[in-house]
Amino acid sequence: MALKAVLFDFNGIIINDEPIHEQLIEEILIAENLRPKRGEFRQICLGRSDRACLSDLFSRRGRVLTESYLNQLISRKAQAYQERIAEMAELPIYPGLEDFIHKIQAANLKIGLVTGAVRSDVEVVLSRANLTQYFSVMSTSDDLKVSKPEPDGYLLAIELLNHEFENLDLQPSECLAIEDTPAGITSAKRAGMQVVGVANTYPFHIMQRQANWTVDYFWDLELERIQQVFSQEKFQPTVTEC
């Protein structure tokens, strides 16, 4: 078995924007005459789509959202997110990311993105950061109703890559996912993939308990070492530190 593709999460992996999302979610709740609660965003929303996050937050407050109104809230948040991004002189892209992507390219591996973010969020950030060209496919919340920790986003990315590249015949076991939350790690593992946990959002020891490999920063991630493990005949999942 060989490693053929690397699939990145977006929020908390490409860009350090979780504080922006927390603030925007709180603004939506306040606008709807609902009170934000300390720690609730981290508990309910990290690693999950806006659709899942807002649905659960409103449900906890006894409010059931119609599909139409939920879509309005998601669109409102997306517009506000783009405005915040436009106001920034420099985007908080994680250091070492582009160098790691170059290593992936040098190894002739396919690159995709799997996220619960809406496509407009992803596109504005990747375009502004000059990263769009690196990602062959994107699986976003626009494509699916379900959210991480369900595996659907990762399985869709495999389908898209196989459609994009004739004769690739990509299987989940040939993919490496890059995640920063327990929900994301669970999603990738349910899809049958190995996972690198980057300690951008949760402490190293929490990532280490769930991911196959754990690093503090992208520059700590040894792609060659991971490729060697993938190439072992009868690969067995391990939890180790790069």
| 3 vs 234: which has the higher pLDDT | 3
Please tell me the predicted confidence (pLDDT) of residue 238. 45
Asked if 40 and 128 sit in the same domain, the reply is no
Asked if 123 and 71 sit in the same domain, the reply is no
Asked if 107 and 198 sit in the same domain, the reply is yes
Q: Give the domain CATH number at 75.
A: 1.10.150
Asked if 129 and 226 sit in the same domain, the reply is yes
Q: Which amino acid is at 102?
A: H
Q: Which amino acid is at 128?
A: R
Asked if 82 and 120 sit in the same domain, the reply is no
Task: Indicate if the pLDDT at residue 241 is higher than 50.
Answer: no
Asked if 183 and 223 sit in the same domain, the reply is yes
d(CA 121, CA 94): 16
Report yes or no: 3 and 174 within 8 Å, Cβ to Cβ: yes
Digit-coded pLDDT (tens) for 16-52: 999 999 999 999 999 999 999 999 999 999 999 999 9
The predicted model gives 209-228 an average pLDDT of 95
Can the peptide bond before residue 92 be classed as cis, meaning omega within 30 degrees of 0? no
pLDDT-based confidence at 234, cuts 50/70/90?
low
Among candidate residues 87, 113, 137, the one where a domain is terminated: 87
Report yes or no: 26 and 44 within 8 Å, Cβ to Cβ: no
Total domain count, the chain: 2
Digit-coded pLDDT (tens) for 152-165: 999 999 999 999 99
The predicted model gives 161-186 an average pLDDT of 97
Task: Indicate if the pLDDT at residue 242 is higher than 70.
Answer: no
Among candidate residues 87, 115, 147, the one where a domain is terminated: 87
pLDDT-based confidence at 135, cuts 50/70/90?
very high
Q: Across all residues in the chain, what is the average pLDDT? A: 94
Identify the domain containing residue 71 by its residue range. 18-87
Taking Cα atoms as reference points, which of 27, 82, 33, 72 lies closest to residue 51? 72
Digit-coded pLDDT (tens) for 51-98: 999 999 999 999 999 999 999 999 999 999 999 999 999 999 999 999
The predicted model gives 184-208 an average pLDDT of 97
Please tell me the predicted confidence (pLDDT) of residue 240. 45
Please tell me the predicted confidence (pLDDT) of residue 213. 97
The predicted model gives 102-131 an average pLDDT of 97
Secondary-structure breakdown of the chain: helix, strand, coil percentages, each rounded to the nearest 5: 50, 10, 40
Among candidate residues 87, 115, 140, the one where a domain is terminated: 87
Asked if 72 and 133 sit in the same domain, the reply is no
Q: Give the domain CATH number at 122.
A: 3.40.50.1000
Asked if 105 and 218 sit in the same domain, the reply is yes
Asked if 161 and 235 sit in the same domain, the reply is yes
Task: Indicate if the pLDDT at residue 198 is higher than 50.
Answer: yes
